[in-house]
Every structure is written in structure tokens, then in C-alpha cells.
């Protein structure tokens, strides 16, 4: 099979969606003229009204996409950097996410919020390093985060053709990754996680660019005799609860690796879900590996010190593997 | 509601708006409406004048003070009252209430509780019409308060830049809750819009003819591909900002101001003009008014007879495409 980079897979998905359905359109900042690889060639191939360069007006062009969706289009709104959803938050949270229920099921909002270049690393500093998916999930926006080029294409196509708003988060650190991608158009279903590595001792639920990090950690752990299962949810909301629960029931241990804020973050949600569902299978407390609850710094050592990676995942796995249950009747020690 | 240049029909529509609000206020008073209501009373000439220049397939976006726009665009009073009473037979099946009434089949893309939020949506809808080569027009209504919302100003720019078939209608009632427009909007409303390159007019919003004439010109231009424009309608709201059961209405404007405003009443003004121009037949006006009253009484009865949503449906309608165990409940059943 031929290979594509992550960003080329996104580009292919946009081309195929627009070719398949005239109502699909793409809008955002600097997207024409092939400046950005994910939208390359769209303006040459499709009618001008379907590929729109927008002024630096995130709130208005997001509302524009909402209105276009109500009027029957399937807009893909690109945010040049993930943190740029914040200026548009009213239109995402108060409008797109709420309208369907609030209007009693009237209307349809098939809009895709396309968050390019999410996450930290490389000195992007405080305002260009966010992984803002917990905000979106909290607002009830369906949210997916592909970890491979194949899923980038399949999930973008699924997002575009879902009849609800869906946010697709494309991690900056994965855009150059290259692997096999089928040529035909296909949709990767929401609410379906995937096992990236099989293991019997511990489950690592890892998100986005932490999926390859978890796989790297798992390789090292294997040479130390610990077999980690790596589970990639892909779709954060809706979330494949049953899929992860099956893995945790099998391994009895869970580490959640998520590069968003620790407090009320995705890992916090998954941990509490699994504590509720899988308590009787757990041999050790669930551990989270997340960002520190701080603004991301510019300078490399303090940037890196706030961010989770393969070593922190490995450390967390060793900790849950080393955990021994207290003997019956013993008193827990606090300190 | 269909396009019409008939002043008698404007009169009927304005009365429908006013008497609808009187009933809504009574239903707040009696405790049957649980949420807040922002009465449109005093501003009827704006919604009626503008919507009478629109076709049924044109679309509007509305505001927190939306009853007037919805009625003027053809919204059914009975389904509106049913919504206000939280009934399943309401426009939004009781999920939205006063501030969110929508009827997509009549081009009503929703009232909106967030000041200025409807404008970019109207722009997007206008773009959709254009890409399908439909000659439909989008009209966002908003108050003077929205003139200081970034998203509205961004939308002006978008509309001009993309030459969209949009007619922005600002209802300048001089006040936003208690803040004066003059103070909060230096430079004035219409000149601000003109600064974006929008053909911009300011009309007496208590004069339905003036509003209709301005709207007709702007809608015609938009429909013919001439791009967006802006109309400021200078008007007055008669009521306090909003009313809600148990809340104390507060009025920050002077009694003298309110009295002077009522002397400009849009309905009496049109009635007077009709009298001078064509003369009312004996009992003609009463007959129209009573017909409107009868229609609205029946609408309230329809609403009262409706059932409230079943508690089991509290999670319905959040998504078009659902999944197992999604959306999540707040506790295990
Ligand atoms: C963005 C936003 N800010 C504040 C509010 C609270 N609020 C509701 S109505 C209102 C005043 C709006 O004034 P205006 O737009 O002039 O409309 P009017 O009430 O006079 O019809 C305010 C501040 C809101 N709903 N949305």
C-alpha cells in the first residue's frame, strides 16, 4: 500500500469529501493558494465559494459556518492553531453545541471544527501550545483526535459527514508522520477505540501524539518483562467505554496518558469512568500522566518539564506494576 | 408570512405582535411562563416593516427580544405560546422557551440569547444560498447593544468582503438594559456600519412605512446581487428590559420620556394615516382587533392544552447521531 504523511492524509480527505458532496466547503485563514499543505489544491479544483479565505475573525467565521450548516452546507472550519478556538468559543459552545437540543431537534449542524497544529513542543509557548479538547468535550462537542495518517483521513471524513458538529484535533507533532493510507474514501467510525498493541499486564490509554509515545514505552517495558496493552480511543466524545473497559478488565491496571490539563482533563474523566466500571478488576490504583496545570513555557527545559512523554508513561506503568495490594485487615498509611 | 405592501395588513400584523406580548406578560404574571420574557412592545413597526419586505424563503436571525420578529416572519402564535408554556407542542418542544424559538420551515433561524450571535449565522446562510444560486436573502435583527459586540462588527466585514445578500437590521431603542446607546456607542450606530463599507441608512423605526421602504430597497439590492446593507431603525421599547415571575421590573427611563415615546406609537400612527388616506369603515378597526384577539385567545388555549415533555426525554435531541450510552446521564439509573 502507498504511504502518506498525516497532513497529506488530511488533504486527501478534504479532496475526497468535496468531490463526493457539493455541500462540503472549507473555510479558514490562509487556506487558498496551497500555503498550508492540508488544504493544498482545493482552490484549484473546486468552485471559489467552496474554498474560502477568511479574515482573522474566528468568531464570525465560525458563526458563518454554523449558519451555512443550518442552510444545508457541510462546512469545515479550520483553526490555524488549536488555541484559536478560544476567540470563537461563543459560536462553538453556546451556539453549535447547544442548538439542536435547544431548538427541539430542528435544523442540522454538520459542521467540522478542524483544529490544526494542536499541542506543545518546539517553543510554541503559552498561547500556541494548547490541546483544548477537554473544553470541547465539556461543552458536548463531539471530538476526535487521530494518532495515525490512516485515522486522520478516516476520522476527518467521518467528521465531515456526521450530522452534528465534530471537532477534529490534529496534533502538531504528528503532522509529518508517514504510514500506509488506503486510497479510497473511508470513514472511521466515532466511538470506536483501537488496540495499538496487545498486552496482558497493564492498559495504557493514550491520546494523540502520546500513542506513539506509549508504544515506545511499551517496547522498553516488554524487555523488562511487562506487557502493556496500548489502547487509542481516537474518539474522545463519544468515547468507547466498553472497549476500554474490556481491556482494563483483562489487564487489571490502567495508565491514562493525555497531554491536556490535569484538572478536569480527559485523563481525569477516563479514570473516573473506569473506576466506576472496572473497580472489581483493578489490581492497582489508576494512574494519570498529563500536563502540569501550568501555562506552557517557551524555554526548552521548562517546556519539557511540564509535558508528558514516553518516559513519564513508562514510569507510571512501572509504578502500577509495582503496586502491591495491602494485606487484608491492614490500615492504609497516609503521608 | 408573505411579502406585502398592504398597510392594512401591516396594521393587523402590528396588532398581533402587540397583543401577543400583552398575553405573554399576563402569562408571566400568572406564573404560567417560568422563564424571562423580553417584550417587543413599541418596536412593532421594525419587525413588521422589514418582514413584509421578505419572501417566505428568506431567512432571519433574531434576538432575546424575538417574539416580534418570529410573528412577523410567519411564526404561529399557538406554537409560540406552547413553547413559552414549555409544552411538547411548542416550536422547540419546550426545550428552548422565549429566547430560542425557531421555525426553519419559515426561515426563522432562531431567536438567540447571546447578543450579536445571530449575525454571522445569517452571513453563512446567505453564502449557502449564493453557492446554490438561490436568490434568497438573510436578515439578522439585533439591538443597539450588539453594535459593541466584536462578532457583529466582524460579520459586517465578512458580508462586505464576500458581497453577501444580507440586510443587517439594528433596532436602536436607545438603551441596553439600563445603559444608553449614546453613551456606549460613540460615533453613532449607522456611521459605524458605514465605516465597514456597508450602504447604511437610519430610519424612524416608529414609522412602518419608512421601515418597509428602506427594507424593500435593501432586500431588492441584496437579491439582485448588489451585496449587503445596513438599516438602523430608531425605536422605543415600552416595557422594562424583561419580565419574569417574581422579578421586580425596574425602569431607568423617566416618566416624561416614556410618555413622549408613546405619543410616537407606531400602531396609532399607522391607524391615523389610514384614517386620513382612506378612512376606516364603521367598526372596521375593531373587527380587525377582535379577530386578532380571538386568534390569540385560541392560541393560548391550544398551548395550555398541550402536554409537558416526559421526563424520560430529557436527554433527547442533543445529537442527530447518537451512540450507546451517549450523551451521558448524570447518574446511574
Ligand atoms: C453577549 C451578551 N452579553 C450580555 C448579555 C446580557 N444581555 C441580555 S440583553 C442585553 C441588552 C441588549 O441590548 P440591545 O442589544 O440594545 O437589545 P434590547 O434589549 O435593547 O432590545 C444584555 C446586556 C447577553 N445576552 N449576551
| DSSP conformation letters of B191-221 | HHHHTTT--EEEEETT-HHHHHHHHHHHHHH
A31 touches B at CB < 8 Å: no
Residues 6+ positions from A200 with CB-CB distance below 8 Å = A227, A229, A250, A251
A187 touches B at CB < 8 Å: no
CATH of A194-330, one of 3.40.50.450, 3.40.50.300, 3.40.50.920, 3.40.640.10: 3.40.50.920
Q: What is the mean pLDDT of residues A229-246?
A: 98
* Residue A54 grid cell: 477568511
- Decide if B323 and A238 are in contact by the 8 Å CB cutoff: yes
| 56-85 of B, contacting A, C-beta below 8 A | 59, 61
What length is written for chain A? 335
At residue A205, the pLDDT reads 98
From the CB of residue A306, how many other CB atoms can be counted at a distance below 10 Å? Answer: 16
* Residue A134 grid cell: 477537554
Helix (H) or strand (E) holding A256: strand A254-258
Closest to A284 (Cα-Cα) out of A229, A325, A315: A325
At residue A335, the pLDDT reads 37
- Decide if A104 and B95 are in contact by the 8 Å CB cutoff: yes
User: Exposed (0-12), middle (13-18) or buried (19+): which is A295, by Cβ within 10 Å?
Assistant: exposed
Q: Is the CB of B177 under 6 A from ligand 1?
A: yes
Q: Is the CB of B176 under 6 A from ligand 1?
A: yes
Confidence band for A6, pLDDT divided at 50, 70 and 90: very high
Which of A63, A76, A139, A240 to mutate against chain B (most B CBs within 10 Å)?
A63
Closest Cβ opposite residue B317 in set A65, A90, A100: A100
Helix (H) or strand (E) holding A133: helix A133-138
Q: What is the mean pLDDT of residues A36-54?
A: 94
Closest to A3 (Cα-Cα) out of A189, A210, A146, A177: A177
Give phi and psi for A220, each to the nearest 5: -65, -40
Average pLDDT taken over every residue of chain B: 97
At residue A329, the pLDDT reads 61
Dist CA B309 CA B270 (whole Å): 42
- Residue where the block lists cell 496487545: A198
Worst-scoring range by mean pLDDT, A115-129, A130-144, A314-328, B312-326?
A314-328
A128 is catalytic: yes
The pLDDT of residue A31 is above 60: yes
The pLDDT of residue A330 is above 60: no
Kindly list the structural domains of chain B, giving each domain's residue range(s) and its CATH number in brackets, ordered by start: 7-304 (3.40.50.970)
Q: What is the mean pLDDT of residues B39-47?
A: 98
Average pLDDT taken over every residue of chain A: 95
Residues 6+ positions from A220 with CB-CB distance below 8 Å = A310, A314
- Decide if A163 and B320 are in contact by the 8 Å CB cutoff: yes
Which of B121, B313, B330, B331 to mutate against chain A (most A CBs within 10 Å)?
B121
> Considering only alpha carbons, which residue of chain B is nearest residue A65?
B124
Confidence band for B96, pLDDT divided at 50, 70 and 90: very high
At residue B2, the pLDDT reads 82
Closest to A27 (Cα-Cα) out of A69, A70, A83: A69
DSSP letters for A292-332: -SSPPPSSHHHHHHHS--HHHHHHHHHHHHH--PPPTTPPP
Q: What is the mean pLDDT of residues B271-291?
A: 97
Q: What is the mean pLDDT of residues A79-92?
A: 97
At residue A327, the pLDDT reads 59
A54 touches B at CB < 8 Å: yes
Closest to B234 (Cα-Cα) out of B174, B288, B146: B174
CB B231 within 8 A of CB B205: no
Q: CA dihedral defined by B221, B223, B227, B231, rounded to 10 degrees?
A: 60
Prediction ipTM score: 0.96
Whether omega before A240 lies within 30 degrees of 0, making that bond cis, reads no
Among B119, B152, B176, name the best residue to mutate to test ligand 1's pocket (greatest count of ligand atoms within 8 A of Cβ): B176
In a 13 Å sphere around the CA of B194, the CA atoms on its Cβ side amount to 9
- For residue B275, the distance in angstroms to the closest alpha carbon of chain A comes to 42
CB A260 within 8 A of CB A131: yes
The pLDDT of residue B35 is above 80: yes
At residue A142, the pLDDT reads 98
Strands (E) located in chain B:
59-61, 138-143, 167-172, 175-176, 179-180, 200-204, 229-234
Sign, Cα dihedral of B38, B201, B152, B108: positive
B129 touches A at CB < 8 Å: yes
Of all residues in chain B, what percent carry a pLDDT higher than 70? 100
- Decide if B155 and A69 are in contact by the 8 Å CB cutoff: no
Sign, Cα dihedral of A288, A293, A297, A302: negative
- For residue A212, the distance in angstroms to the closest alpha carbon of chain B comes to 28
Q: What is the mean pLDDT of residues B260-274?
A: 97
Q: What is the mean pLDDT of residues B207-236?
A: 98
Pairing verdict, β A202-206 and A228-232: parallel
Q: What is the mean pLDDT of residues A217-231?
A: 97
Give residue-wise pLDDT tens across range B170-203. 999 999 999 999 999 999 999 999 999 999 999 9
Helix, strand and coil content of chain A, in percent to the nearest 5, comes to 45, 20, 40
Catalytic entry in A15, A128, A192, A323: A128
Instruction: Give CATH superfamily name and number for A3-180.
Output: Thiamin diphosphate (ThDP)-binding fold, Pyr/PP domains (3.40.50.970)
CB B232 within 8 A of CB B174: no
- pTM for the complete prediction? 0.96
The pLDDT of residue B312 is above 80: yes
At residue A331, the pLDDT reads 56
At residue B245, the pLDDT reads 83
User: Exposed (0-12), middle (13-18) or buried (19+): which is A42, by Cβ within 10 Å?
Assistant: buried
Dist CA A124 CA A128 (whole Å): 5
The vertex-A71 CA angle with A65 and A77, nearest 5°, equals: 15
> Considering only alpha carbons, which residue of chain A is nearest residue B327?
A238
At residue A334, the pLDDT reads 44
Closest Cβ opposite residue A104 in set B119, B161, B317: B317
The pLDDT of residue A36 is above 80: no
Closest to B153 (Cα-Cα) out of B256, B230, B254, B57: B230
Residues in A touching B102 (Cβ below 8 Å): 103, 106-107
The pLDDT of residue A190 is above 70: yes
The pLDDT of residue B260 is above 80: yes
Give phi and psi for B103, each to the nearest 5: -150, 90
Q: What is the mean pLDDT of residues B239-261?
A: 90
At residue A328, the pLDDT reads 60
CB A111 within 8 A of CB A65: yes
Q: Where are the domains of chain A?
A: 3-180, 194-330
A222 touches B at CB < 8 Å: no
Are domains A3-180 and A194-330 of this chain identical in fold?
A: yes
- For residue B68, the distance in angstroms to the closest alpha carbon of chain A comes to 18
DSSP letters for B304-332: HHSPPPPGGGTTTTS-SS-BTTBSPPSS-
Closest to A215 (Cα-Cα) out of A201, A234, A198, A235: A198
Dist CA A283 CA A200 (whole Å): 13
* Residue A324 grid cell: 502491591
Residues 6+ positions from A63 with CB-CB distance below 8 Å = A88, A91, A95, B117, B119, B120, B121, B123, B124, B151, B155
At residue A33, the pLDDT reads 75
Q: How far is CA A327 from CA A249, A279, A324, in A?
A: 22, 18, 9
Q: How far is the CA of A30 from the centre of ligand 1 (A)?
A: 33
At residue A325, the pLDDT reads 58
Amino acid at each position: 500500500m502507498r504511504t502518506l504523511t498525516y497532513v497529506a492524509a488530511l488533504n486527501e480527505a478534504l479532496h475526497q469529501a468535496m468531490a463526493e458532496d457539493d455541500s462540503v466547503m472549507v473555510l479558514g485563514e490562509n487556506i487558498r493558494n496551497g500555503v498550508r499543505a492540508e488544504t493544498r489544491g482545493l482552490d484549484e479544483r473546486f468552485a471559489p465559494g467552496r474554498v474560502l479565505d477568511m479574515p482573522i475573525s474566528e468568531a464570525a467565521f465560525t458563526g458563518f459556518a454554523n449558519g451555512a450548516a443550518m442552510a444545508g452546507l457541510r462546512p469545515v472550519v479550520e483553526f490555524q492553531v488549536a488555541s484559536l478556538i478560544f476567540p470563537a468559543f461563543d459560536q462553538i459552545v453556546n451556539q453549535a453545541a447547544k442548538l439542536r437540543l435547544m431548538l427541539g431537534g430542528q435544523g442540522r449542524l454538520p459542521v467540522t471544527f478542524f483544529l490544526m497544529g494542536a499541542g506543545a513542543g518546539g517553543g510554541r509557548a503559552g498561547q500556541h501550545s494548547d490541546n483544548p479538547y477537554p473544553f470541547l468535550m465539556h461543552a458536548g462537542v463531539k471530538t476526535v483526535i487521530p494518532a495515525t495518517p490512516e485515522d486522520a483521513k478516516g476520522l476527518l471524513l467521518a467528521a465531515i459527514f456526521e450530522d452534528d458538529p465534530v471537532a477534529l484535533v490534529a496534533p502538531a507533532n504528528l503532522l509529518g508522520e508517514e504510514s500506509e493510507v488506503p486510497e479510497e474514501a473511508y470513514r472511521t467510525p466515532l466511538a470506536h477505540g483501537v488496540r495499538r498493541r496487545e498486552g496482558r499486564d497493564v492498559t495504557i490509554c493514550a491520546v494523540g501524539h502520546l500513542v506513539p509515545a506509549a508504544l515506545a514505552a511499551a517496547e522498553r517495558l516488554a524487555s523488562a518483562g511487562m506487557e502493556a496493552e496500548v489502547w487509542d480511543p481516537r474518539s474522545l466524545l463519544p468515547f468507547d467505554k466498553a472497549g476500554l473497559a474490556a481491556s482494563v478488565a483483562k489487564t487489571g491496571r490502567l495508565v491514562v496518558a493525555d497531554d491536556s490539563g490535569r484538572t478536569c482533563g480527559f485523563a481525569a474523566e477516563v479514570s473516573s469512568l473506569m473506576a466506576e466500571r472496572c473497580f472489581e478488576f483493578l489490581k492497582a490504583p489508576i494512574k494519570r500522566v498529563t500536563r502540569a496545570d501550568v501555562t506552557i513555557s517557551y524555554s526548552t527545559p521548562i517546556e519539557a518539564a511540564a509535558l508528558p512523554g514516553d518516559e513519564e508513561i513508562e514510569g507510571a506503568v512501572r509504578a502500577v506494576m509495582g503496586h502491591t495490594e495491602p494485606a487484608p485487615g491492614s490500615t492504609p498509611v497516609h503521608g | 408570512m408573505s411579502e406585502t405592501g398592504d398597510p392594512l395588513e401591516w396594521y393587523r400584523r402590528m396588532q398581533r405582535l402587540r397583543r401577543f406580548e400583552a398575553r405573554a406578560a399576563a402569562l408571566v404574571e400568572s406564573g404560567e411562563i417560568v422563564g424571562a420574557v423580553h417584550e417587543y412592545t413599541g418596536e412593532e413597526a421594525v419587525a413588521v416593516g422589514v418582514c413584509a419586505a421578505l419572501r417566505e424563503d428568506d431567512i432571519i436571525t433574531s434576538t432575546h427580544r424575538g417574539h416580534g420578529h418570529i410573528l412577523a416572519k410567519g411564526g404561529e402564535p399557538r406554537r409560540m405560546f406552547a413553547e413559552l408554556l414549555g409544552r411538547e407542542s411548542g416550536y422547540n418542544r419546550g426545550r428552548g422557551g422565549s429566547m430560542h424559538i425557531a421555525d426553519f420551515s419559515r426561515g426563522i433561524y432562531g431567536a438567540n440569547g447571546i447578543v450579536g450571535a445571530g449575525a454571522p449565522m445569517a452571513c453563512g446562510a446567505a453564502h449557502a444560498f449564493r453557492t446554490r444560486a438561490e436568490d434568497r436573502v438573510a436578515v439578522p435583527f439585533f439591538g443597539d447593544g450588539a453594535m459593541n459586540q466584536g462578532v457583529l462588527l466582524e460579520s459586517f466585514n465578512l458580508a462586505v468582503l464576500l458581497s453577501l445578500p444580507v440586510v443587517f437590521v439594528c433596532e436602536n431603542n436607545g438603551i441596553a438594559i439600563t445603559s444608553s446607546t449614546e453613551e456606549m456607542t460613540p460615533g453613532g450606530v449607522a456611521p459605524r456600519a458605514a465605516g465597514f463599507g456597508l450602504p447604511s441608512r437610519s430610519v424612524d423605526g416608529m414609522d412602518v412605512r419608512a421601515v418597509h421602504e428602506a427594507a424593500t430597497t435593501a432586500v431588492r439590492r441584496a437579491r439582485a446581487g448588489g451585496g449587503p446593507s445596513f438599516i438602523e431603525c430608531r425605536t422605543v421599547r415600552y416595557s422594562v428590559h424583561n419580565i419574569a415571575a417574581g422579578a421586580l421590573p425596574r425602569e431607568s427611563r423617566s416618566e416624561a420620556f416614556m410618555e413622549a415615546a408613546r405619543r410616537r406609537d407606531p400602531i396609532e400612527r399607522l391607524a391615523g394615516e389610514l384614517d386620513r388616506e382612506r378612512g376606516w369603515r364603521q367598526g372596521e378597526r375593531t373587527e380587525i382587533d377582535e379577530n386578532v384577539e380571538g386568534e390569540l385567545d385560541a392560541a393560548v388555549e391550544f398551548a395550555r392544552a398541550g402536554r409537558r415533555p416526559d421526563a424520560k426525554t430529557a436527554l433527547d435531541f442533543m445529537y442527530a447521531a447518537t451512540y450507546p450510552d451517549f450523551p451521558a446521564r448524570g447518574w446511574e439509573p
